[in-house]
Amino acid sequence: MSKSFDSAGLTFRQDYFDDRAAWAALVSLLGDTFGIDIGPLQQLGGPDPTSMPFGWFAAGNTLAANLSAFAMPLVVNGRQINAAAFQSGAVRPPWRGRGLYRDVTCKALEWCESRQFEAIVLYTDKPLLYEPYGFRSLPMHRYCGAAPKPYSAGKPARELDPLNKADLALLQEALKTRTPVSDVLAVSGSAAMFLINTQLDPEVRLSWLDAEKAVIAWKAGKSGRFGLLDVVATEIPPLAVILGRLGEGPEQVDVFFSPDKLDWRGEALAFDSGTAFMVRSTTDLAPASPAMLSPMADF
């Protein structure tokens, strides 16, 4: 990967998140490229503190090309994996085709290698872009099945709003002390991703189960379905308790992670969201049974 690249008129910067204008340039690049707004992250505790962005800047603080790496510890088959993740990969149209993306990708890979991450993960709709660097797609599976009878004793859940100060503090504490939602495949931390994902999808609802000290990320599905996206707690409550506290009595449940801690079984179904989950690792990181990373860990 030692091909040349054309950076005429551009300045390279890394680790630039403390510079407000440079951060704004990234917000603008991602808004223009993907139509997403990561600006609210600043009200939600800021970007992941381990983030290491690599960017080529043009005059006037325009970010022409970027790729960011950050630490994303995972649990796979019960084992803690010291993984990194890539995100925010984009090149503005006038600067495409000059090798700038190849350059930031090589820089991000070198950074990961110098920190001895065991694996690197990413999501992309262009898997071919990453295969030359040794990334391979892992199939993702959600679980679907009949809902258990809700266990309805106890205090009902209350809705959380991450933009409310007290709710945000509660969420941050829960995220800091969480156990992985699954032993098959799950993140161990990644609070910033969880928090920004609450803002990127308006259908995501957050509920607090006081007795269990659990945050439930969920969606009311169509025609009697219930979608469980994530559970943030030191101990994962059974699905029947979650439904009971939420006052939900669906017929069918979709669980968007492996439900090994939910005291419930469903059928594994291929999950195709149009993006591939890719892994680059020297060890085999395939989950032992069908699984997916919670959409709240999406990045």
Residues at the site binding ligand COA, with contacts judged by CB under 6 A = 3, 33, 89-91, 96-102, 124, 126, 128-129
Q: How far is the CB of 225 from ligand COA (least distance, A)?
A: 30
Position of minimal CB gap to ligand COA? 101
Query: CA-to-CA distance for 279 and 53, rounded, in angstroms?
Result: 19
**Element holding 240 (H helix, E strand):** helix 239-246
- From residue 210, give the alpha-carbon distance in Å to each of 54, 107, 157, 170, 295: 41, 45, 7, 11, 23
- Closer residue to ligand COA, CB minimum distance, 138 or 233: 138
Q: Min. distance of Cβ 67 from ligand COA in angstroms?
A: 8
CA distances from 154 to 107, 195, 256 (A): 53, 27, 26
The first and second tokens of residue 171, run together, are 């969420």
Q: How far is the CB of 198 from ligand COA (least distance, A)?
A: 22
Residue with tokens 């603008």: 28
295 close to 219: Cβ distance less than 8 angstroms: no
CB of 33 to ligand COA, least distance (A): 5
The string of DSSP codes covering 41-61 is: GGGGT-S-TT-EEEEEEEGGG
Which CB atom, from 90 or from 171, has the smaller least distance to ligand COA? 90
Based on CB atoms, which residue is closest to ligand COA, 102 or 142?
A: 102
- Residue whose CB is less far from ligand COA, 98 or 261: 98
**Closer residue to ligand COA (CB): 30 or 174:** 30
CA 42/CA 48 separation, integer angstroms:
11
Nearer to ligand COA by C-beta: 3 or 222?
3
Rounded least distance, CB 10 to ligand COA, Å: 12
Q: How far is the CB of 283 from ligand COA (least distance, A)?
A: 24
CB 266 within 8 A of CB 162: no
